[in-house]
Structure formats: structure tokens, C-alpha cells
Chain A
Amino acid sequence: MKKSQLVPLFIILIVVLIGCSSTTDTESKSDEDTKQEVVKKEGKDITIAVADNFISMDPHDTNDTLSYSAQKTMMQGLVGFDKDMNVVPVLAKEYSANEDATEFTFKLQEGVTFHDGTPFNAEAVKANLDRLTDPDSTLIRASLFEVIEETVVVDEYTVKVILSEPFGAMINTFAHPAGMMISPKALEEYGDEVSQHPVGTGPYVFKDWKPGDHLTVTKNEDYWNATGNEVDSMTFKPTPENGTRIAMLQTGEADFIYPVPTEQAESVNGKDGIMVENAPSIIVRYLAMNNMKEPFNDVRVRKAINYAINKEAFIGVVMKGYATPMDSIIAPNTQFYSKQEQYKYNIEKAKELLTEAGFEDGFKTTIWGSNNSSTLKGMEFIQQQLAQINVEAEVVPMESGTLSDSIWSVQNPEDAEIEMYYGGWSPSTGDADWGIRPLVGGKDAFPPSSYNTAYYNNEEVNSLIADGLATADLEARKQAYAEAQKIIWEETPWAFLSVDDTIFGKKNYLEGIYLLPDGSLSAENIEIVQ
């Protein structure tokens, strides 16, 4: 035997020994430095690390919340959302609607100019809305504004929007970042290329954008609503790798990162001047069940599934505590939310319901979902929970292209193969309508046209949704949605899981930067406090 063969043997030994020693030291928490000193920041240039690439800088042609996050530093809408997703006036001083929710009038701020010097006035608003409602438009967000029939310039600072049909959620739609105003001159000059040359009225001016690398905005010296605390520049860096993002924050290469991977949130919080903050979002995490398919067409089976899942354990194990249990189909921060009574974890009751439905021996099913590690963990958890009531669920993780193909290429609802689907939803208008209608709004919302993966169709709910849209009267809308939520909760088209927390990490000298409940970043009011 050769001497050199002893070397690998040695390696085995060493590895085994290391294995034995690297065991107990993992959990040695120290909470002593929660009140840490504010760390020093050189200069006033901020770097923000985000998880994905930016897609477009044209708000009318964007459908990802991340691109909106950067756009919002440069552009503004007539109205916007505050920290809790309440609608607040921005470029409009005040607004009013007629009773049928068909006419909306906006009084505009005076003395506002776009970055290129174009004055902001009623004509500018009309140019933007006409662009969105142009019948030939291929803009992604045209559908949000398709109910607008005409935009009328009343005087220089008053604009009236006339709808073709009553639409109660219109003000929220205007607050959606898709309603942000672009300089009419830039629209004319660049056409659709405006997605590379954003010009707005916001506190920061576009500087440069290298897709995949960085996007930089600089301070707008002539900002109409300046507080004097603006930073000199902000650079957004797409950093998909969780570990890298955390490292950038630790080394000071980034001043702000989001999202923070929940697994590491606790271990970095309170060290090196890092603060990890979380807040309830309006993102709901659910398990849709195909209501048209055996055995989920029986409400008792659906209820049994709801009772069989331990929501507290789900939040603890899968969400690492950064979530709250769902108690309606929409999250508490969504407009017109009405609290329902939770399906408390109860295996006995679940088994009883299954027996009643004729499935005392359980059944086999599949859970579809995407293949990222947190979704996988969620699906595996559901699998374990359902095993308790003899429901044997096969976890089928799919790559996102395959997944959307499997769900949205179905032409005939009867042919849909989907049984259970683990997903999440963030209604970016902050309104109940967008949290209910696309997901459980009956036949009109069935794939491929919308997101009703549960194939839930209840005439009563459908008409309540229609009622909610037919008026601008807040009380009437509230009532319609409360009733709809009650029925949906009772009929359980989904297993209701949790409302996610938004979670970000920042250096403790930053103020005024936060995540909105829909998961988008609000950096336009950022300041450095030393």
C-alpha cells in the first residue's frame, strides 16, 4: 500500500473531529447592545441594495413593485399613499367625486415644475391620462385606467376625470404608482423610450441606469416641497444573493437593504449599527384549493384543511415569526378590511369534518408552488400538517415559467389540473377590490384572464363585488366588502395562512425610508440623522 493513501484517511479523521466540535456554539445570543450608538456616515450619498433588477422607469408600463420603488424617488402622482397606505394628496391639493363615482375632480398644486422645466398643470395631467387611455396603447397599466372616458381641463389648475361607468376604487387607482406624472415634454421627445429617461416632479433627478448593475438618482435642487434634508444621491444596486446583501449592509457598502432574509434577520440586528425593522404588510399568503374539483368542491373538506393547519406553527417555522395569522381574505391594512373569526388549529374537528364529507381515510392531492426555498419550506410544512388528517399531499415545486404555464394556460376551467396552490398576493392599490376581485371574483377571474386559482364562483360574492365598485360612497362600499368577506371566510375557497411582514435592514443614521405595506420601498423622504 502506498503511503500517499494515508492522506485521505487523515482528512476523514479531521473532518469527523471538526464535525463533533462545531456543535453547541451556534446559539449564544446576546441582547445587550440593542441600544447602540448611531454610527457615523461620511457624505450624503446613499446606497440601497435590493433583491431584483429594475425593469422599467416608465410608471405607466411597469408591473413590478421594485421598479416603482425607484420611480417614486423621481416622480409623483396626483395622490399617493402614506406609511399605512391611506390615500393622501400629493400633486393634487384636494379632490372630490360625484355620488355615482363617475366624475372625479382634482385641484392641483401650483408652482410645480418637472425636472426639465416644464410646468405642471392640468394640461400635463391630461397628457399623461390620455397616454394611458389611448385605445391603441400597449402600456401594461392601461387596464387600470380603462374606465376613464375623458379627461377635461377645467382651468389651469383644475382637472376633471369622467368615467364610462361607476368605479368606487378610482381614487386608490390614482394613488397607485402607475398614476404618476411624467413630463409631457419628455413624453413627446422620447416616446416609449421614456422608460430610459424618466422626468418627473419628485425630490430626485434621474442620473444614470446600468441594468443589472446600478441606478442612480441625484438631488433635485428646485424641488417644490423641499425640506432641506434630502441626500445628495441615492444608488440602487440589484443584489439577488441573500448573503451578499447582508454582507453589504454589514460592511457599510450599502446603507439600506431589502428584503432581509428572515433566517438571518435576528443575527444581524443590533450589530454594526444595523437595525432590522419589520411591519405588517398587506401581502397575504394562502393555499388555494380548486373549488371545482373533487374533493375540494365540498366546503367541509375545505374547512377541514383550514382546521388542520396550525397557523401559529406556520408563522414560527416558515416565516420565522415575521407574519401574523390571516383573519380575512384581505390583510388588516387593506381598505375595507373586516375581521373574521380565525379557524383555530383543531385536528379533531378537521377529522370530524372529513368523516362527514366521506373522506375518513383521507385522500391524495398535490400542492403546486414556485421553487424558491421559502415557498418550498411553506409547502413542505403544509404537507406535514395535512398528513395529520391522512391527506397525502405531494409537493410539486415548479420553475416560475413552468408554473405560470401550468396555471394560466388552461382554457377550460373543467380541465384545470390545479388542486392546491401555495401563493401570495399583494393588492398594490391598497383597496379591498384588488384584494378580492382578481382572486375569488367568480368566472371573470378564472385563469387565464385573472388569478382565481381556487376557481371560486359564488354569485352572491360576485354581486357584492360589483356593488362595491358601483359607488364612491365609502360607507356603502365598506358594507358590501364586509358582507363579501364574511361569505368568503365562511366558504373558505382557500386555506388562510398568514399576512407577511415587510422586513428591511438599515444603518441607524437613516430616517424616513420605509417599506409600504404592499412591499414597495418608499425612499423619497429619506434623510440622514447624525
Chain B
Amino acid sequence: MANPQTAEIATELSKGSENVKKSSPITEFWKKFKKQRLAMVSGIFVLLLVIITIFGPAIAPYSAEEPDYVNVLQGSSWDHLAGTDAFGRDIFSRIIIGTRISLFVGTISVLLGAVVGTILGLVSAFYGKWVDSFIMRICDVLFAFPGILLAIGIIAILGPGLGNVIIAISIFNIPNFARIVRGSALSVKATVYVEATKSIGAKNRRLIWKHIFPGTASSIIVNFTMRIGTAILTAASLSFLGLGAQPPTPEWGAMLSNGRDYLSTSPHVTFYPGLAIFLTVLAFNLLGDGLRDTLDPKIKD
């Protein structure tokens, strides 16, 4: 298990920075991360989800959309591990195939938010003055809305659908990243090596991307992992409200919503998709916690 794990983190890190590719910080990171047992378990679970995402349709025992009107609302059995829904579709298969959607929506929307937010945060920290105030005040305005409310507002304008859910979630992720990146960029900007680079006449672009940005990478990674959980939850909530995935897409939130008429008679229809959402969000949050403890320079053991 250890090897793919290392590889996984290495690729994660290389996304953020070229410099960290050298083996020493990685080994050090791994040494620390190994001690976070809960984060390790979560990491393995996330890895498992990634595998399911890739091979989902091949592993699933049944089709996600093919109805079977003879076997509707069956409880768990060896034929249908998680039972069947109101149309006789196998819930276990739908959850497996739905993993792809939830993970995709979660990752892409946070990634979009992270890219835009990071750029805004860096610009804000580097140039300061009115640029800084301008960007940060806009972020404050966005922060004033509760995330889900903002997302519903955006969907109301754009119309329902998974694509628009991604846009909505990435928009409310922007201020989050902008603020965090700005914070750490400000402290990196004040360091001696940045001063030194500046004094030998490096251009602004080089300063920002080669010298300040790598210093913020760890906080971006931590925040990225933590936000994925929230993003998956928000996407599921929007689908539950009928604003996200449209039938017959096996989206977890939509499946939860389909089962609400049967809560008292066939609870399994809501239970298993709920469990899937719960475990996934928990795993991402714990993984984020572990990464933070490992990467945060302030926490020394």
C-alpha cells in the first residue's frame, strides 16, 4: 500500500510546485504523514474511491439506469447488496457508478475555484493597495452569503444541471482560496529570499510564480482537500433539491431525494446513498486534517 500512496502524494505536490519534486521534502513529508494513522486510512479510502471512479462501470454488477419493475424496493440481499430503488435499479451499482459523478464534480469545482482564487490571492498580496482592497472587499461580499444559498442563487440564474452546479460551487470557493493564499503570500513576500530576488531585478511575474507561489502551495493543498468534502456535500444538496443532476443520473444526492417518500417503508433507499456521501465527505475532511498537521510549519513534533 505504501508505494502507490507515495506516488499519489508526489503527483499531488508536483501540481503545486516544481521545486518540491526533490526527494528530501517528500521523504520528510511521508515520514510525518505516516504517523497520522486516521489520515492514512482516509487516504486509502480516497484512493479506493479514485479506483472506483476509474473502473466503476466495469465493477458494478448491474446497469445504473436499467429498470427492473419486478424487483422494486427490495431490501439488501446477495443479489442486490444495497437493495433496489423504486424502479428496481440496483442501489449498490448506482452508488458505485455515481462515485465518478460526485468525485468529478467535487474535484473540478474546487480546482476551478482554487485556480481563480489563487491567482486573485497572489495578485492581491503582491500588489497590495487598492488592488488588494478591491479584491478582498469582493471576497467579503461573497463570504457574507452562506455557501449553499449563494449556489442556489447562481443555479436560479443559470438553470439546473450538473455543469451549472460545478460553476456555482467553484464561485463560492473562490473567496476562500483567495483569502488563504493572500495570507500566506503576504508572509512569503516578506521573507529575505524574496527581497533578495527582487533586488537582483527579477520581474514581477517571476517573483510571483517562482518564488512566492511555491511558498503558498502547502496551504493550497490542505485547503483543496478539505474543500472537496464540502463541495461534494453541496453538490449532493443541490441535486437533492432537484437543481443538480437530472434523472436518471445516479448522483448520490438525487438518489437520497428519490428515497424520501419511502423513508418509513424502505429506509435502505436513502440509507446507502447517505452513507456513501457521509463516508466520502468524512474521508476528505480527515485527509485534509492530516495533511494540515503534516504540512503546517507551525506544528512541530
Contact = CB atoms under 8 A, between A and B. Distances in A.
Interface string A218-244: 000000000000000000000000110
B17 interface: no
A380 B247 contact: yes
A15 interface: yes
Given A12-B279, A26-B265, A317-B87, A380 B248 contact: yes
A397 B242 contact: yes
Nearest to B89: A384
B282 interface: yes
A23 B268 CA distance: 7
B75 A23 contact: yes
A377 B86 contact: yes
B246 A395 contact: yes
Contacts of A242: 261
Interface string A364-382: 0000000101101101110
Contacts of B36: 1
A317 B282 contact: no
Nearest to B40: A1
Nearest to B75: A26
Contacts of A400: none
Nearest to B38: A5
Given A8-B286, A264-B264, A264-B265, A371 B242 contact: yes
Contacts of B77: 23-24
B55 interface: no
Interface in A248-307: 261, 263-264, 267
B29 interface: no
B267 interface: yes
B210 interface: no
Contacts of B289: 5
B247 A376 contact: yes
Q: Contact residue range for chain B?
A: 35 or more
B35 interface: yes
B209 interface: no
A22 B286 CA distance: 27
Contacts of A9: 38, 41
B272 interface: yes
Contact of B282 (A12, A23, A310, A387): A12
A19 B264 contact: no
Contacts of B248: 380, 383-384
Interface string B44-88: 000000000000000000000101010010011100000100111
Contacts of B275: 15-16, 19
B267 A261 contact: no
B278 interface: yes
A263 B75 contact: no
A380 B255 CA distance: 13
Given A317-B87, A376-B247, A22 B268 contact: yes
A34 to B, nearest CB: 19
B134 interface: no
Nearest to B259: A373
B156 to A, nearest CB: 10
B21 interface: no
Nearest to A312: B69
A263 B38 contact: no
B193 interface: no
B271 interface: yes
A267 B261 CA distance: 13
B262 A263 contact: yes
B266 interface: yes
A26 B266 contact: yes
Main secondary structure of the interface of A (DSSP, over half): helix
A19 to B, nearest CB: 6
B37 interface: yes
A381 B242 contact: no
B169 to A, nearest CB: 21
Contacts of A373: 257-258, 260-261
Interface in A318-350: none
Interface in A502-530: none
Given A1-B36, A1-B38, A5-B38, A22 B69 contact: no
Contact of A313 (B69, B75, B242, B279): B69
Given A8-B286, A317-B86, A261 B41 contact: no
A32 interface: no
Given A243-B264, A395-B246, A19 B272 contact: yes
A27 B75 contact: yes
Contacts of A395: 246-247
Nearest to B293: A1
Interface in A1-18: 1, 5-6, 8-9, 12, 15-16
A211 interface: no
B264 A26 contact: no
A267 B265 contact: yes
Interface in B229-287: 242, 246-248, 257-258, 260-268, 271-272, 275, 278-279, 282, 286
A316 interface: yes
A110 interface: no
Given A22-B267, A26-B265, A397-B242, A384 B278 contact: no
A417 interface: no
A15 B278 contact: yes
Given A8-B38, A317-B87, A26 B286 contact: no
A26 B267 contact: yes
A316 B69 contact: yes
Nearest to B66: A384
Contacts of B41: 9
B274 to A, nearest CB: 10
A402 to B, nearest CB: 10
Contacts of A22: 267-268, 271
A23 B69 contact: no
Given A26-B266, A267-B264, A310-B69, 18 more contacts: A1-B37, A8-B38, A8-B282, A16-B275, A19-B272, A23-B268, A26-B75, A243-B263, A316-B72, A317-B87, A373-B260, A373-B261, A376-B247, A379-B247, A380-B247, A381-B67, A384-B248, A395-B246
24 contacts: A5-B289, A9-B41, A15-B278, A19-B271, A23-B75, A23-B268, A24-B76, A26-B267, A26-B268, A243-B263, A263-B265, A317-B67, A317-B72, A317-B87, A317-B88, A371-B242, A376-B258, A380-B87, A381-B87, A383-B247, A383-B248, A384-B87, A384-B248, A396-B246
Closest 9 pairs (CB-CB, A-B): A23-B76, A5-B38, A313-B69, A380-B247, A26-B75, A384-B67, A263-B261, A395-B247, A24-B75
